[in-house]
Structures are given as structure tokens and as C-alpha cells.
Amino acid sequence: MSPVVIVGAGPTGLMLACELRVAGVATVLLERLPEPTGQSRALALHARSAEVLDQRGLLDPFLAEGVVWPHGHYAGLRLDMARLDGRHRYTLHAPQSRVEALLEKAAVGLGAEIRRGHEVVGLSQHDDGVEVTVRANGDEYRLSGSYLVGCDGGHSAVRKLAGIGFPGTPSSLWGVLADVDAFDAPVAIREAIISERGWFSVIPLDEKLTRLMFIQDEPPRGDVENLTAEDLRAMVREMTGMDVAVGRPQWSSRFGDATRLAERYRQGRVFLAGDAAHIHFPLAAQGMNTGIQDAANLGWKLAATLHGWAPPGLLDTYHSERHPVGEFVCTNVRAQIVLTFPSDRMAPARDLLSRLLEFDDVHDYLSRRMSGTDVRYRVDGPQDDPLLGRRLPDAVLATADGETTVLATLRGGRGVLLDLSAGGGTDAVHGWSDRVDLVRADAVPDLPPEAFLLRPDGHLVWHGRAGDDGLAEALRNWFGVPAAANP
């Protein structure tokens, strides 16, 4: 089996490498940079990303290092994440640099090959695979693979080489990020300040580092990538009117609110994920989390295809399921920008939204949207079914072998038929036992006492009585023909 070639060792590419290796697929990951930058534009993992990591047994190191916040925000207005369903009802403080380091350790431990300082400069594909031209150490070589996935950011070489359009809107807002080793300021400016000058935020990262974020409606002046402490001190003074001591910057960078979405996520044997497929204003880590969830959707589908049991059209569902999610995230971020800038004109709208957030339905809708727990894919069945197509909320399960959780049953990267009908169901997955596990457990609160068919990414594609004819149809639709029926 030729390996899947992944380009880009950010959170998306590394998560995809983990997904493929859990499923036993050979994986080579190419990264243009010779070493990690150590920079962190994103700072948080949302509830759904925590679930994605947990269902592969990868979450514990993140929890050990991170700080659990019971809240999130929408356009700067606080959301109570403790209201979510499932067991991961929080936002996890996790700087992107640590997300990448922990995922790289996991991917290498699972057997993925990572080549740093290797840049993709050419691409061709044929009926049986792809071939990329790679530049490394001044030389070029060719690498063949079964599929190619571009996870190489907003300036994706893979997207350009594949000829996939990237339409969208240019920046109208610009910002600066800077992580400094000291910031001596009064409490008055340690909360976000939104004024006619723009948006200024102070974000403690750890005991040593503090992030300063400036957002204005005009491009920043000067060499933003090499700001000094005095430069930042002047910027804080201009934004807040206060003169404060600012420590040495560890790194600084600029960003804008350009919003773009790839016309398609698949071109033959080439796929796009993460920022290669969608870019937007860096707000509330939406980009990093959406990319991690792109990887969870694509990984098992590539593995199913390479292992020979994927039903027809399974790979096409990657675009049909994830492109709408990327489109919504881009729209959602733009809506938050509109609610924030210009601050003097939008103050009445923000006041109204803050009042609307006092209504449970509004609060819960936005919390689910921001956390990623509301994503629903279209599957066969009643579209008014409140569970079908969604991820099944995590819960503790009591089985004959002891206590486990819904997410833990997915650790092997396989499908799961979870039977909560008091053991009354038959072994309906017999013909699919090479790709679907049967787990029997006692009934749990908030779920009906029946059986649930979960895809490897945790999304529900059928539920009912384990002996129903509809189960066999759902198994065929998502897991192919049973092994006994294979020629």
C-alpha cells in the first residue's frame, strides 16, 4: 500500500497523521520548515476537538498541560461552556505550539514518518496515485503516494498545484500579535478594550509570557515581525492612553480578516484540510479546531478506501460534509467582526446580543456553534431526528468488562454498534466485524434504551432496535458490503 502523503505539520496535518496511523495506514508527512516555529496564533481547544482527541486516546497529555476554562466567547461576549452536553464541557487553554508538539509525539509514536525541511514544488496524479516533487537540502526527489492531503496553510502549495480556486474577500481589518516576557499594567486594561481606536487585549499565556493583541482598521506600520519593547509600549499607549512597562517580545506577527474558502476540498486524489481549505480572522481558535475536525472526518474515509471496504462515494462525502462547515465558520467569524467594528456604531447591537444571551436557547445555540458540538452531517433517516448525523454525546458506560465511555469505544478508529437495549440485541455486525465493534452496555440517562451505530469519527448514522432491517442498510451505506459477501 502506497502511503498517504500529508503536506504541512501544523495541528491539522499532525492530527490526520494520527488518524491514519491508528487505522494502520502508512503515512509520510512533509513540512517545508526545518523546525517548529514555537509560535502560537491559536490558544485553545474547544469541546469537540477535545472529544476528537479523547476518542483516539490522545487527550490526557493536553489536559495535563492545559488549563480548563468553563467558558468561551462570541464576539467577546462570554459563553458558559458548562452548559454543553457530554463530558467535555469546557474550553481547554492549549497554545498551538504545544498542540503541535503533543500531536507530533503521538504521530511519531504511532509510526508516522515526518520529514522536516522538505518542500513540495511539483504535483502530478494518475488513476492509481499521486507523485510529488520535493525539494530538500538543495536537491529534489520524487515521492509517490496513494493520496495527497494539503494541510499547508493559507498559502498552500498543494492547493495551487492542484488548481483549486480560493475565492473570498481581502482584509479590511489588521492586527498585531506579540508575546512578551513581562507586562506591568493595571487591572483596568487586563480585560479587552474596544474603543474608537480599535481592539486591545491582554492574554496571560503562562507564568512568564503575556500576549498583546492590537486590532485596527488600518494596516500596521513598520516591521511588525521585529517589534521592540519600546515599539509595543508606544502601541499600548496609543491604544489605551496609558504608559506601561512592556517586556521583551518573544515573537510578533501581523494578521488580517481576509476570508477565503476553497472551491472544493477534493480534486481527484488530492484533498485540502485546515487553513489550506479555509482562512478567516483568527478569532477564538476557530481555524485550528475546524482543521483538527477536518482531519477526523477525512482520516477514517481514506483508511476505509485503502483497506478496500469503503462504500461507493465515501471519499466524496468529505467535501459534502466539511465544505459547509468551513463555509459556516467563515461566515460566523465575519459576523463577530461586524458585531465588534466599528465599536462606536456596533455598541447598541452588542448590548442587544448580550441581553439575548440571557435566554437559554440563544446561549446554548451559540455555545454549541463555537464549541463545534452542533455539527450535523446529512445521513439517511428522518431529518427531524435530534440525534441522527450528530456526534453522540460522551457518557460513562457500564459493560460486562467494566466501566468505559462512549468515546473510549472508538479508540481503535473503527465503527461501533453501541447496544444499550439491556443485551436484547443480536450480533448484527457479524459480517462487518472486521471494521465495526459491538459494545453492549447498560442504559444511560438522556439516551433511549436502543442501539446506536457510530462512524469512526463518532457521528451517529443509525439508531433503533439492534435487529431492525434498517441497521443492515446503514452498515452497507457507511461500512460497505459485509466480509462474507466480498468476492
Residue 351 pLDDT more than 70?
A: yes
* Res. 486 pLDDT band, cuts 50 70 90: low
* Res. 424 pLDDT band, cuts 50 70 90: low
How do residues 146-174 score in pLDDT, each as one tens digit? 999 999 999 999 999 999 999 999 998 88
Report residue 199: phi and psi, to 5°. -120, 130
Mean pLDDT of the chain: 93
CA dihedral 369, 373, 376, 381 (to 10 degrees): -140
Nearest CA to 49 out of 85, 80, 90, 104 is that of: 90
- Amino acid 394 reads D
Looking at residue 428, its pLDDT comes to: 83
* Res. 182 pLDDT band, cuts 50 70 90: confident
* Res. 186 pLDDT band, cuts 50 70 90: low
Q: Is the peptide bond before 342 cis (omega within 30 degrees of 0)?
A: yes
Rounded Cα distance, 11 and 4, in Å: 17
Express as a percent the part of the chain with pLDDT over 70: 96
Looking only at the bridges linking them, the beta strands covering 91-93 and 67-69 are antiparallel
Rounded Cα distance, 394 and 408, in Å: 9
* Res. 238 pLDDT band, cuts 50 70 90: confident
C-alpha distances in Å from residue 378, one per residue of 321, 324, 385, 459, 461: 8, 11, 11, 10, 9
| 174-256 and 396-485, same CATH topology | no
Looking at residue 433, its pLDDT comes to: 94
Just give the CATH number of 174-256.
Answer: 3.30.70.2450
Which carries the bigger pLDDT value, residue 417 or residue 344?
417
Rounded Cα distance, 189 and 243, in Å: 11
Rounded Cα distance, 472 and 383, in Å: 19
Looking at residue 481, its pLDDT comes to: 96
Q: Within 13 Å, how many C-alpha atoms sit on residue 313's CB side?
A: 6
Residue 327 pLDDT more than 80?
A: yes
How do residues 267-283 score in pLDDT, each as one tens digit? 999 999 999 999 999 98
How do residues 42-68 score in pLDDT, each as one tens digit? 999 999 999 999 999 999 999 999 899
CATH class of 396-485: alpha beta
Out of 193-202, 212-221, 308-317, 356-365, which region has the weakest mean confidence (pLDDT)?
A: 193-202
| Buried b / exposed e along 358-383 (16+ C-beta atoms within 10 A) | eeeeebbebbbbbbbbbbbbebebee
Nearest CA to 297 out of 266, 268, 328, 267 is that of: 266
Residue 188 pLDDT more than 60?
A: no
Residues 194-211 have a mean pLDDT of 81
Out of 317-326, 353-362, 417-426, 467-476, which region has the weakest mean confidence (pLDDT)?
A: 417-426
The domain locations on the chain are 4-168+259-371, 174-256, 396-485
C-alpha distances in Å from residue 177, one per residue of 99, 171, 206, 235: 19, 16, 16, 12
For residues 282 and 153, the answer to whether their CB atoms sit within 8 Å is no
For residues 274 and 153, the answer to whether their CB atoms sit within 8 Å is yes
Residue 407 pLDDT more than 70?
A: yes
Looking at residue 468, its pLDDT comes to: 81
C-alpha cell at 274: 485546515
Enumerate residues 6+ apart whose C-beta is below 8 A from 90: 47, 50, 68, 69, 70, 81, 82
C-alpha cell at 144: 509517490
Q: What is the DSSP string of 431-449?
A: GGTTTEEEEE----TTS-S
Residues 315-331 have a mean pLDDT of 98
Looking at residue 467, its pLDDT comes to: 76
Looking at residue 311, its pLDDT comes to: 97
Residue 177 pLDDT more than 60?
A: yes
Per the listing, cell 447598541 goes with: 348
Residue 195 pLDDT more than 60?
A: yes
Residues 210-234 have a mean pLDDT of 88
* Res. 13 pLDDT band, cuts 50 70 90: very high
Fold for 4-168+259-371, please state it.
Answer: FAD/NAD(P)-binding domain (3.50.50)
Nearest CA to 391 out of 406, 408, 404 is that of: 406
Question: For every residue of 188-246, which 3-state class applies, written as one string?
Answer: HHCCCEEECCEEEEEEECCCCCEEEEEEECCCCCCCHHHCCHHHHHHHHHHHHCCCCEE
Looking at residue 189, its pLDDT comes to: 57
Residues 428-443 have a mean pLDDT of 93
